[in-house]
Structure 1
């Protein structure tokens, strides 16, 4: 009976193919990470085909907390060399031994070093077994593994099994076949168990959400053209269904070999670290903002959306993905380079950690695609709240309460992640055509783990800034609540409670302008809720934004808008009012001037 290499514990039962039939079992995993996780699905299938037995072996293993020395996921496939004794045994020992060895090595040892050590040990053992056991003389196998480690993928490869990647519907072969010759006459020039000095291919690549990986034996890729593989993968069936479809297609195409497939779908990746994001922005130049018609990094600039003081927003077509996007280009002549880079770092940092239907997204571009400083965002079909305020009719109670609570939910999402927005205002709220809402522009947000802006670049828009910000405070949940309160006040009245404040001024906060005087048709409880949110003293405001949202939601439920007061004659018909006043004055004047007898 063949046993694993000495010192290697037997691997735990893992979902795997043993090659005894067309079995296919999926499994999903969620690896705990900071904020959100690497999420993926894996499916597989294997068929013996026209061979007498199946010499392929595939398995996947997920690093387990407090059990394994390292956290990663490995999907591996081996194809025992046909015509060699013990090929099937070599394939299974190689995969199982690699998984045990890799996960038992200490975490400080990098993935590359751990994979090389584990595979070298297995190779040495298989070579030795082939020399001392006549029943397994010359046993050997190919080996291909996909290792998922955080945001990075690793490929470890020897032989002619293959790893493919489907990204943006384009299929790419990530491995090189170590063979001499073509077709049925090819000869492996590298394999596990052939020689003691094993040469291993290893390379890394960033993982991206929604991409697929396919590991397959030569019984699959030797029969199917890449166009057919791509057609099946692009259909986006479940991984286990896709694996079965690939195997079935290979057999239907006339494959005479064993056919084994592993399909790995990347659903989501962990967030980038602040250091990774910072490094990606530091080297990017800061030229002048482009004009419509330019093509930058395969983005065709189609139209100017807004041209602000600090940045220019352009609608563009992503020529690679075939979708509309919005590109935000800084203007280098109005702010320091360091400040701009900090703003773009903030937006990228938030986008990598916060996924919410209420928060605007930033698109993470592939490495080496971006050649200058800008940010890319999905194109949103709608208008800003500021644009909505510029047209009639005024926003009513139900619509305004709905918008206010959605803005509050967006802020709560940020606050729970330790993020302070610091620039809540109608210009940064997008109202979507489908009824959705997005809170935009996280460029001046205060973030955990990141250095803040210099003191002379205090963030925020003066008319929405809480009094303590003018005194040098950095901003917290209470200042975001104040800005939200001012935004809600403007939402209903189109005015500012403390007047419009000019930049670089030091305002004095007195009593807020009367809400009821501007909107007498709205209930008194709404004025009270807004007044508490915009209180000059932070101690008098709500405890948090959620409490403010709760007050508005419950106010609408417990009582609708107040009955509008009856209009005076002056409001109904000013001309008739003044005619009546003039007539009365004329009568009084005539009485005063009449002679007395």
Structure 2
């Protein structure tokens, strides 16, 4: 499977049901040519002919065929929305004209729902009461609204359809795609009898698309559907990687504005409270009205660095977030095109505290807990390094400890990316106390410098906040002569752990671990072989035998006295 291109699998089922004929029609195009797939994408469409008018089947088939032919014949520079609108408008005019000229096809019309998958986005087009659903994870969401009149007797009366009016009134929406998204396009013969909970349950089984479509259609028939029954199921298997030039163009068009205050609404996000207000960025906990989720919005602080540097930082985070998925790295939420009006990032809201906050609170961690956290951070950095990405700002402030025991490594805005041009005289990014010695002499960042920063972070974790070479002031030139030992701060920790951290923070990069895998191996080996066993808890007798026998004698005396008293009571009782 080619992980650099859009890959889907689809299947459909269409049943005549209890109608005299089948007026539903389905079509899809998945270009075999890689260029056409990239520029125009995959298109699936479903139409349901209006049953109360003549020519319903002809309207449905004509709408789908003309739309697909028109869409793929238009220049891709128009973009999916305009291409789709032009193609469907032409089909609408033709069908509307036929319905007015030909008495055999009078008032012919059809519902229409289509899905265009291009790049990393899904474009939804809709008219009528067919529907498009998306299953993401275990959650099912309806992406369309029915264009029907209200009321029990009018629930199937359409006020929008292809061919119904001369001018097309089309619903359009764009959504960000994720791998393993599952889409369902269905006619009212399916959703009219199956509850959304039933649709969700069957789609969550994740059978092959063809099998799932056939099961949905048969279930609708078994439950008494009186209409034509059509279901199309599509799975997104792989997504193309985002193009850096496209990302840069998209971000560079977004202006940098003064960070807003809590209570404001920005692009459908309500800023509920301030999370942090740092030198370079301001973070808010926000509510996303689109997904009803709690998220974090990160705004740049203007006038601290140049606009180019801010755009580059946000570009790095978006580029890495789209390419590297790891349970140990913070995610970046991609927004649909056109929603964002200024520069900011959207992240999931994680419940927890930073490692810096825990250290400042006096957290005294034991060996096993600390090594477990260290191994998680090694995995986070390895996920980056295997894709040739260098973090360059590993520190406790950028380590988030989640309430559920998870860990997230934050802030990839200064990461070094493969083939990413940097000026030779540009400042070395990062925090002074975590920069490796060679970075003060021109090294721009590599795996060993990340290991050093992780080593300093772990030294502070175990020592209670101390630095192996002392805290370093920005713009200074420190001398890495004598490092502190971990045992200077924690006599209860094993010697091997101090040796591992000393190697991770060695001033000479050649004496340091070459990568996080080597560091993780020594941590695991030390924990398994060199960690002192906790002594078994001694019994009371072992701890204080004298007190044990004294207590035992006292209890025996009490039992003897109680027995004598009972005998006395029995002997003195009247016969």
- 1:304-333 C-alpha deviation (Å, 9 max, x unpaired): 222211112222222332222222121113
How far off is 1:411 after superposition?
0.2
Q: In structure 2, what is the equivalent of residue 461 of structure 1?
A: 431
The answer on whether the counterparts of 1:358 and 1:406 sit within 8 Å (CA) in structure 2 is yes
Which of residues 132, 139, 144 in structure 2 aligns to 1:172? 144
The answer on whether the counterparts of 1:329 and 1:374 sit within 8 Å (CA) in structure 2 is yes
The answer on whether the counterparts of 1:166 and 1:233 sit within 8 Å (CA) in structure 2 is no
Q: Judging changes above 3 Å, is the alpha-carbon distance between structure 1 residues 174 and 263 closer, same or farther for their aligned structure 2 residues?
A: farther
**How far apart are the structure 2 equivalents of 1:325 and 1:186?**
37
The answer on whether the counterparts of 1:169 and 1:234 sit within 8 Å (CA) in structure 2 is no
Structure 1, unaligned stretches of length 5 or more? 1-30, 120-139, 177-181, 192-198, 565-597
**How far apart are the structure 2 equivalents of 1:522 and 1:174?**
66
The aligned length equals 504
Structure 2, unaligned stretches of length 5 or more? 89-107, 149-154, 536-575
SS of the residue 1:215 aligns to: strand
- 1:111-155 C-alpha deviation (Å, 9 max, x unpaired): 999999x99xxxxxxxxxxxxxxxxxxxx9989764534324467
> Does 1:536 find its partner at 2:502?
no
Q: In structure 2, what is the equivalent of residue 549 of structure 1?
A: 520
Q: In structure 2, what is the equivalent of residue 576 of structure 1?
A: none
**How far apart are the structure 1 equivalents of 2:525 and 2:291?**
44
> Does 1:407 find its partner at 2:373?
no
- 1:80-136 C-alpha deviation (Å, 9 max, x unpaired): 9999xx999999999999999999xxx9999999999x99xxxxxxxxxxxxxxxxx
- 1:167-214 C-alpha deviation (Å, 9 max, x unpaired): 9834326999xxxxx9899999879xxxxxxx9x99894542376544
The answer on whether the counterparts of 2:213 and 2:231 sit within 8 Å (CA) in structure 1 is no
Q: TM-score, normalised by structure 2?
A: 0.71
**How far apart are the structure 2 equivalents of 1:187 and 1:497?**
70
Q: Judging changes above 3 Å, is the alpha-carbon distance between structure 1 residues 272 and 511 closer, same or farther for their aligned structure 2 residues?
A: same
**How far apart are the structure 2 equivalents of 1:415 and 1:452?**
19
How far off is 1:530 after superposition?
1.5
> Does 1:343 find its partner at 2:313?
yes
Q: In structure 2, what is the equivalent of residue 594 of structure 1?
A: none
Q: In structure 2, what is the equivalent of residue 299 of structure 1?
A: 269
**How far apart are the structure 2 equivalents of 1:352 and 1:277?**
11
How far off is 1:295 after superposition?
2.2
Which of residues 270, 276, 290 in structure 1 aligns to 2:260? 290
Q: In structure 2, what is the equivalent of residue 500 of structure 1?
A: 471
> Does 1:148 find its partner at 2:148?
no
**How far apart are the structure 1 equivalents of 2:354 and 2:2?**
37
Q: Judging changes above 3 Å, is the alpha-carbon distance between structure 1 residues 268 and 385 closer, same or farther for their aligned structure 2 residues?
A: farther
SS of the residue 1:237 aligns to: helix
The answer on whether the counterparts of 1:383 and 1:430 sit within 8 Å (CA) in structure 2 is yes
How far off is 1:58 after superposition?
4.7
Q: In structure 2, what is the equivalent of residue 515 of structure 1?
A: 486
How far off is 1:249 after superposition?
4.3
**How far apart are the structure 1 equivalents of 2:286 and 2:273?**
7
**How far apart are the structure 2 equivalents of 1:112 and 1:433?**
42
The answer on whether the counterparts of 2:259 and 2:299 sit within 8 Å (CA) in structure 1 is yes
Q: TM-score, normalised by structure 1?
A: 0.68
SS of the residue 1:480 aligns to: helix
How far off is 1:373 after superposition?
1.5
**How far apart are the structure 2 equivalents of 1:526 and 1:535?**
14
